[in-house]
Amino acid sequence: MPRYEYRCRTCGSTFEVSRPMAESSAPADCPAGHGDTVKLLSAVAVGGTTSAPAAGGGGGGGGCCGGGCCG
C-alpha cells in the first residue's frame, strides 16, 4: 500500500499515511488532530542500473556526430 506524506499547516509537523491509491486525494488529519493539511510531493527512488550514454554525446567517442567526421 502506498505511503503519502503530508504537512500540517497549523502546527507544521510532517507525517505519513498509508492508504490505497484510490484514496490518495482524500484529506488526512494531522496526528495532533488538525485538519488543515497538504499532501507533499515525494521523490521516488528506483534501484537498478542505467545504460545512459557517456557525456559528450553520441556514445561513439567522436563528439557531436559520434565519429571522426566533424573535423
CA 45 to each of CA 8, 42, 48: distance values in angstroms, whole numbers, following the listed order? 24, 10, 10
pLDDT digits (tens, 9 = 90+) for 8-61: 999 999 999 999 999 988 999 999 999 999 999 877 666 767 666 666 555 555
Q: What pTM does this model have?
A: 0.57
Closest-CA residue to 12 (of 37, 44, 48, 49): 37
- Phi, psi at residue 21, to the nearest 5°? -60, -30
**Lookup result for grid cell 567526421:** 69
